[in-house]
Structure 1
Amino acid sequence: MLTERQLLILETIIQDYANVGQPIGSKKLQEQLPVHVSSATIRNEMAVLERAGYIMKEHSSSGRVPSLSGYRYYIDNIVKPAQLDQKALGVIRNALANNFSKVDEIIAMSARLLSRLTDYTAISLKPGSKDVKLEGFRLVPLGSSQVMLIMVTSDGTVESQIYNVPVGIHGDQLEAVVRLINEEVVGLPIDEVSAKLQLNAPKLRKYLRGSISLLDVFDNVLGKAVHQQVFVDGKKNLLNYLTNDNIEQVKSVYSLVDHGSGLDELLETNRDFAVIIGDELSDNLLSDYSLISAKYHDGNNGEGLIAILGPTNMQYSKVLGLVDALRFELSQRLSNYYRDFNE
């Protein structure tokens, strides 16, 4: 159990290291501590913290830097989210006040805001689609034997794809397909649509003279609507904090956020608010990083997640306050979006 003075010294070392990125010595601490303490007393307390594994020497410097155990203790016992300043709160509210045509645009904006306000890599996960229903389906003629297949879901998502009509299939046959699909699957949860259509596949093939290409296109568009999407912003910021000059590691870290491979496992958590540090992360490439994530509720069909991936020596109090404020504003914006959409 650390004393109040030891807690204060550990907190000051972590905050100062986040600001300057250099080992912190006793003289520097003496200048920054809000209470008067002799340099000798500070050195003694630092020795206690070092033996406990909360701080450590870095190379030959006489100063100390936080260890992963020190960061963990700080997160669990000391840090408090900073209140977001009015300027940053105004930036968030103004950006989320835009007119968005679909939920994806709001979720993507949340990642953009997080990245812009922290200079770290931001990740936003769209809420799950388990309760979303297929709201509408239609085909829009484009000419030259092409139509656009348009699908609308109850969460306001609109997906579309162009379909090349096979030779020999005419408008009345396509209209019959649209009627059948609307009668049989519109109003169903989207994860039940494919199974229901399979039961009607013989009728659909009859209308389409044996061709199943339209059904393939429909399934493709449906898959895009069902898929939980991940939005990443500030990907290049992740490379600013690599401490290893191994080019293969650089490529792997960038690929992780650029292509999304492994992100699901990285972001998996049962906690509403989580801070995962260094080697606690599931990917050993990220041992010099920390992940702060928070769940948000959309007021309609579930919960999503926003996250910051940055250096272990990030300014935790500031970032925690920002993430907490943004998840609240995002939840409010999504609730308003669904309310307006359903009216």
Structure 2
Amino acid sequence: MPTKRQAMILAEIVRIYNETGQPVGSKTLMNQLPIHISSATIRNEMAVLEDDGLITKNHTSSGRVPSTAGYRYYLDNLVQPSAVPRPVFDKIAQNFNHDYREIDDIVKQAATILSSLTNYTAISLGPENAQVTLTGFRVIPLGSDQIIAILATSAGTVESRVYRITGQLDTDDLEKAVRIINDQLVGLPINQVKTKLVTEIPRLLSQYLHSATGFLDLFGDVLKRAAAQHYYIGGRSNLLNFVQPDELDQLKSIYQLLDKESVLPSLLDLDQAATDDEIKQPPMTDHRILGPISVRLGDEFNNSLLSDYGLITAKYHVGQHGDGMIAILGPTSMPYSQLIGLMQLFSDELVKKLFEYYGYFHTDDS
């Protein structure tokens, strides 16, 4: 466990290295530390930090850089979120100041704004609520053999897909099937809808339709798409800012990793409860509905592709509408104080926009 002075030196090494990208020497520290310490004393303290594995020597200079363990200690014990400058706050508000027809449009915009503000890769995940219900289903004929199926949920999700239908499912049967779905399933939680789709609904369709061939597959497909968690990624190309020419193959593999939605829950650690590496936050205000912010580093991903990366995630809560998440993926040497402060504020603004959306549609529907 570092002493108070060693912790101060470690925090300063992290700050200077993150700002400059250059190894930090004792002379630089002597001029930057808030208290006067001789260069010899600083070197002795740095030697202890190096023995403890918190800093490491750079091969190209005599300076030191934070190790992954050093970053972890800094994040767990020393980091202090920075205040967000007013112009940044105004830019967030301005970029969110649009009318949104679907909840996913807001979530997608969040990833775009966050990547633009930070010049890192941003990931956003919309609020997920186990109590989301089916609010409507309709089918519109487009021609002799095509229809568009539209499904809506109480979360504000609207999914529409074009399907080709067989001649066995005539217009009358299609209308009856839609009425059965709306009569039997609207108002039920999505999980119950999925259950009834394989238990009760097939029996009802067989009683009232000449043929339901293909309809259950059609409805099941559009339901699955509407209920799926939708991830949005902004600023993929920002990853190019942190790789060397000989690392392009690794970058290509990371691109492919981010394209796999099946991998993103593991990357974002969605299945894990909050852990000890969550950053302690100040008391919430009445308007702050912000879940824990956490940071994962290097080998904590269990993926060698990300050994030189850090991921800052912020969970947010939108009341009865559920929980979501935003994240920033960048190099290990990100300016964590600034970014954590930004993530706190950004989450607040995102939650406000989501509440605006839900409030508008609730009022509109009443």
Q: TM-score range by the shorter chain?
A: over 0.9
Q: Distance in 2 between matches of 1:244 and 1:270?
A: 38
Instruction: Confirm or deny that 1:277 pairs with 2:297.
Output: yes
Deviation at 1:334, TM superposition (A): 1.3
- Return the letter of the residue paired with 2:76: D
Q: 1:60-209 residue pairs with structure 2 within 5 A?
A: 60-167=60-167, 169-198=169-198, 199-205=200-206, 209=210
Q: Distance in 2 between matches of 1:241 and 1:261?
A: 25
Q: Does the aligned pair in 1 maintain the 2:173–2:211 contact within 8 Å? A: no
- Is the deviation greater in 48-57 or in 160-169? 160-169
Summarize deviations over 1:49-105 as a string: whole Å, max 9, x none: 222221111114111111111111111111111111111111212222311111111
- Return the letter of the residue paired with 1:313: S
Q: Distance in 2 between matches of 1:108 and 1:73?
A: 33
| Aligned equivalent of 2:284 | none
- Return the letter of the residue paired with 2:30: Q
Superposed structure 1 runs of 4+ greater than 6 Å apart: none
- Return the letter of the residue paired with 1:226: A
| Aligned equivalent of 1:264 | 265
Summarize deviations over 1:11-51 as a string: whole Å, max 9, x none: 11111111111111122222222333332222222222222
2:316 aligns with one of 287, 293, 296: 296
| Aligned equivalent of 2:287 | none
- Is the deviation greater in 250-259 or in 69-78? 250-259
Q: 1:43-62 residue pairs with structure 2 within 5 A?
A: 43-62=43-62
Report the TM-score when normalising by structure 1: 0.93
Gaps of 5+ in 2: 275-291
Deviation at 1:129, TM superposition (A): 4.0
Report the 3-state secondary structure (helix = DSSP H, G, I; strand = E; otherwise coil) of the residue aligned with 1:47.
Answer: helix
Q: 1:330-341 residue pairs with structure 2 within 5 A?
A: 330-341=350-361
Change (3 A) 1:146 1:205: farther
Deviation at 1:293, TM superposition (A): 0.8
State the aligned residue count.
343
Gaps of 5+ in 1: none
Deviation at 1:204, TM superposition (A): 2.4
Q: Does the aligned pair in 2 maintain the 1:9–1:33 contact within 8 Å? A: yes
Report the TM-score when normalising by structure 2: 0.87
Q: Distance in 2 between matches of 1:303 and 1:284?
A: 29
Q: Distance in 2 between matches of 1:246 and 1:205?
A: 58
Q: 1:225-240 residue pairs with structure 2 within 5 A?
A: 225-240=226-241
Report the 3-state secondary structure (helix = DSSP H, G, I; strand = E; otherwise coil) of the residue aligned with 2:319.
Answer: coil
Summarize deviations over 1:139-163 as a string: whole Å, max 9, x none: 2233344332111111111111123
Q: Distance in 2 between matches of 1:311 and 1:107?
A: 24
Summarize deviations over 1:95-152 as a string: whole Å, max 9, x none: 2231111111111111112211111111112222421100011122333443321111
- Is the deviation greater in 263-272 or in 61-70? 263-272
Q: Does the aligned pair in 2 maintain the 1:134–1:188 contact within 8 Å? A: yes
Q: Distance in 1 between matches of 2:172 and 2:233?
A: 44
Aligned-residue CA RMSD in angstroms? Answer: 2.0
Instruction: Give the % identical residues.
Output: 48
Q: Distance in 2 between matches of 1:100 and 1:238?
A: 29
Instruction: Confirm or deny that 1:326 pairs with 2:326.
Output: no
- Is the deviation greater in 264-273 or in 96-105? 264-273
Deviation at 1:308, TM superposition (A): 1.0
Q: Distance in 2 between matches of 1:246 and 1:20?
A: 22
Q: Does the aligned pair in 2 maintain the 1:299–1:331 contact within 8 Å? A: no
Report the 3-state secondary structure (helix = DSSP H, G, I; strand = E; otherwise coil) of the residue aligned with 1:127.
Answer: strand
- Return the letter of the residue paired with 1:185: L
Deviation at 1:207, TM superposition (A): 5.3
